[in-house]
Amino acid sequence: MAVILHPDTGFSGPGPGGLQFEDGRAETDDPRAVAYCRNAGYRIGDEPAASQDVPREEAEDATRDESADQFEEE
């Protein structure tokens, strides 16, 4: 059973894929729900959240570069 950790550690209520969170924690055996949550930035057990995989500086640089390209093309 996978443990899904909500970004808001105190959240209690419904989540994606029919998950039910209690104090920011839900459990599921559904691999599709686990995959969705992983890609959406939720933590899965002891795994880091997907949004933490790229250091902030690199993410900001990538965003800045894409924005600059849009203006140069016009």
- Across the 74 residues of the chain, what is the mean pLDDT of every consecutive 10-residue run? 93 95 95 93 76 48 48 50
Scanning the structure block, which residue is given the tokens 């997907």? 50
- Residue 35 is predicted with a pLDDT of 93
Instruction: Please name the residues in contact with 2: beta carbons below 8 A apart, sequence gap of 6 or more.
Output: 27, 28, 29, 34, 44, 45
Host domain of residue 61: 2-73
- Residue 47 is predicted with a pLDDT of 62
Amino acid identity, position 20: Q
Q: How far apart are the first and last CA of the chain?
A: 50
Phi first, then psi, for residue 17 (nearest 5°) are: 65, 20
CA–CA distance, 68 with 58 (Å, rounded to integer): 15
- Residue 52 is predicted with a pLDDT of 47
Number of domains composing the chain: 1
